[in-house]
Amino acid sequence: MIQHPAFDVEPWRLRESELDLDILAQSESLFALGNGHIGWRGNLDEGEPHGLQGSYLNGVYELRPLPYAEAGYGYPEQDQVVVNVTDGKVIRLLVDDEPFDIRYGDLHSHVRVLDFRTGLLERRAEWSTPTGRRVRVKTTRMVSLVQRAVAAIKYEVEAVDAVRVVAQSELVANEPAAKSVGFDPRASEVLDAPWTSQTHSSDNTTAELVHQTTYSNLMVSAAMDHMVEGPEGTEVSAVDFEDIARITFSAALEPGEKLTIVKFVAYGWSGVRTKEALRDQTAAALVVARESGWDGLVNEQRSYLDNFWKNADVELDGDQEIQQAVRFSLFHVLQAGARSEERAIPAKGLTGSGYDGHAFWDSEAFVLPVLNLTVPETVAHALRWRHSTLALARDRAALLGFRGAAFPWRTIAGAECSSYWPAGTAAFHVSADVADAVVRYLHSTGDQKFEHDFGTEILVETARLWLSLGHFDLDGGFRIDGVTGPDEYSAIADNNIYTNLMVQGNLLVAADAAERNLDVAAELEVSEDERSLWRRAAQKIVIPFDTQLGVHAQSEGFTYHQPWDFEATKQDQYPLLLHFPYFDLYRKQVAKQADLVLAMYLRGDIFSAEQKKANFDYYEGLTVRDSSLSACIQSVMAAEVGYLALAYDYLAEAALMDLEDREHNTRDGLHMASLAGTWIALVAGLAGMRPWNLSLRFTPRLPGGITRLAFNIVFCGRRLHIETTTTSTTYELREGDDLELCHAGETFTLSVGKTEERVPLERLDPGTPPTQPFGREPEHRLSDNERGKETP
């Protein structure tokens, strides 16, 4: 996509200078706007043509039955599928009775720009009707990050020739949805006409539609209001039906005259509130939006984003594509979580219907760590959502015969929605990932109230799961058998090392949290004996190691499996899951994504430097990266062991995952974890940032091609700026109390107004970089000559 001639590389904007219908669906995802509550895909204002229509409210879904050829105990019976809510983006235009449709007439110019600093999507088009009457159309769209229920559009039509224009501003429910082509588990299930009308009305410049789903019984209210400026004689009329409400504006324009419409849209939804309450809610939101006016909304948005970038911006010199990509990534990660407010952050955010709108462990493992150090209040909301689903997680564990809480592999509202249990239910590591996210949030904020009110209960209930899922063997080791780790090409394995190490951390922090919060522990009936058992299990947990190869095994026996025949695998047979049976994948040495390598990043304290390098080298030859979650983690660990050119390659792959549509499914929405992974690869990878003794440590090393990396973070109420170049690294505390940091093993105290400078680290000498599976090498970011200079 970014290599498409229509797209320019700019540091603060995504700009498309011409419209290409062949990539329309992909561009709709790239230009999506949202605030964590509302999601609007970047569809054209006139509604047609489109690749995939999309208007979403976080948490709104419909139920569908999960069919099975053979029933089985504990199989989930219902799926939760994201559905389009009432579309408020549509403004159709007729020029002398000819509909503005870029497929007809003459499109003289068409430009779209998404500005990361203003949060506005601007579109400019100049078009002539089939009869040669020309107009200029400018639209500016926003989803408010401040007024959670509100989105708005400023729509301007300027006449080049004397014309009569009619603009039809609409609310549309039950829009026909595009059907997926072929079988791809990443695509969405399309539900036809999921909404039933409850009421509809219109009056002058306002209109509303209220609908309810049939099975999930969720009710959505959508309302719109308008402000209009036009020449004398401009007319306004309104009409409404069950699935559509329309406000029509008509005007005769002389050359140079404009018709300007500001459209305010408000949404509300609930599964328990009455129709009247929802109507009142959206009406109130419209009142506030109209009082703010377009300029007020724009100013609020800019102020919000100014503060965000003050805390989160990343700058780098030497690669403008990555510079653009990291800001694009941060902007979309912010949009996914900014106002989610006790709802999940789906794998695609609110940019598309991919994965049926489900949230996975991606949020806790990839997205929340970025928000922790940029917008930490959003993480508290996301974790409170997990806490709100604890009852369902306990019920799921009990159904499976266990104590504690088993969080779902994929869900919207907290119930397990995966019908394939080897890669769903068996992926119990999700519960440890949630616990790890709690700990990382507490480490980054020191939020003791959250630990008391929410965190401790999550940690206790997940710890209880492990004691009933695992067992002590005859040698006293604590085993967890028959589970699936992050690598979904190795299912139902014994002692998956990622799972075991995350469980180990979960057990220890749960015991500590219970001791710090004795009243919560008493309420949960946590005894001293139970805490002691958690500590014993953590101490004795099995960590598989192959002494013959000198590497850790991803799971017990994994290194004894037959290697996958990569030489015989064609490039069009990736991803493997779409071309080979799982049975064959499960019994071979092939990894879909980083598994043990991810464990080395999150639990780096367990491995020596020598072990990290040996493990990384071995698993590089087995990992095919059929998951967008993999590249950023491989980048982090490549940087840590010294393969800086390879780290750069994987950084670029993560950063350009959607901008270049590398997995060929950007049309269904953006990959939030890979977007977050861009920041992770830069800050945890090249800057080497790791948690350390309730503070942070850094080991910065830059690859050739990048001469400067600077970033802002917030940590425990402090605002930090770190900048590393080829000659030095400087640390600056811009706000907050003194903080102790660590640079390459040297500790120092940082104070406001004082900059600490440190010399660059010596380049590691890891030797010849490992090779990847045949045909799965990352695209080189540096030339062969430049890569040669990377090796000492």
Return the C-alpha torsion angle 424, 429, 431, 433, nearest 10: -120
Of the candidates 145, 84, 146, 187, the residue with the CA atom closest to the CA atom of residue 668: 187
Q: Do residues 348 and 34 touch, judged by C-beta distance below 8 A? A: no
Tokens of 51: 């690749």
- Distance (Å) of CA 394 to CA 462, 537, 602: 9, 21, 26
Distance from the Cα of residue 316 to its chain's centroid: 22
253 vs 258: CA distance, rounded Å: 7
The residues, any chain, with a CB within 8 Å of residue 289's CB and separated by 6 or more, are 144, 147, 150, 152, 225, 264, 266, 297
Give yes or no: 723 in active site.
no
Q: Do residues 261 and 169 touch, judged by C-beta distance below 8 A? A: yes
354 vs 661: CA distance, rounded Å: 14
Q: How far apart are the first and last CA of the chain?
A: 35
Return the C-alpha torsion angle 358, 360, 364, 365, nearest 10: -140
Q: Is 12 exposed, middle or buried (0-12, 13-18, 19+ CB in 10 A)?
A: middle
Cis peptide before 703 (omega within 30 of 0): no
Q: Do residues 463 and 403 touch, judged by C-beta distance below 8 A? A: no
- DSSP annotation of 623 reads B
101 vs 129: CA distance, rounded Å: 9
301 vs 26: CA distance, rounded Å: 25
Q: Do residues 497 and 490 touch, judged by C-beta distance below 8 A? A: no
The residues, any chain, with a CB within 8 Å of residue 425's CB and separated by 6 or more, are 74, 400, 406, 409, 416, 418
Tokens of 740: 């102790």
Q: Do residues 404 and 389 touch, judged by C-beta distance below 8 A? A: no
Of the candidates 33, 127, 134, the residue with the CA atom closest to the CA atom of residue 88: 33
485 vs 426: CA distance, rounded Å: 8
Per residue in 230-253, is it b (16+ CB within 10 Å) or e — as a string? beeebeeebebeebbbbbbbbbbb
Number of H helices, E strands in the chain: 20, 35
Distance from the Cα of residue 151 to its chain's centroid: 21
Tokens of 792: 């000492």
DSSP assignments along 55-117, one per residue: EEETT-EEEEE---SS--TT---EEEEE----B---EEEEETTEE--TTSSEEEEEEEEEETT
DSSP assignments along 546-564, one per residue: ETTTTEE-SSTTGGGSEEP
User: Could you give the angle at which helices 390-399 and 456-469 cross, rounded to 10 degrees?
Assistant: 10
Q: Do residues 692 and 745 touch, judged by C-beta distance below 8 A? A: no
Cross-strand partners of 113: 15, 122
The residues, any chain, with a CB within 8 Å of residue 516's CB and separated by 6 or more, are 451, 456
Given the residues 28, 488, 640, 660, the one annotated as active site:
488
400 vs 135: CA distance, rounded Å: 64
Known catalytic residues?
A: 488
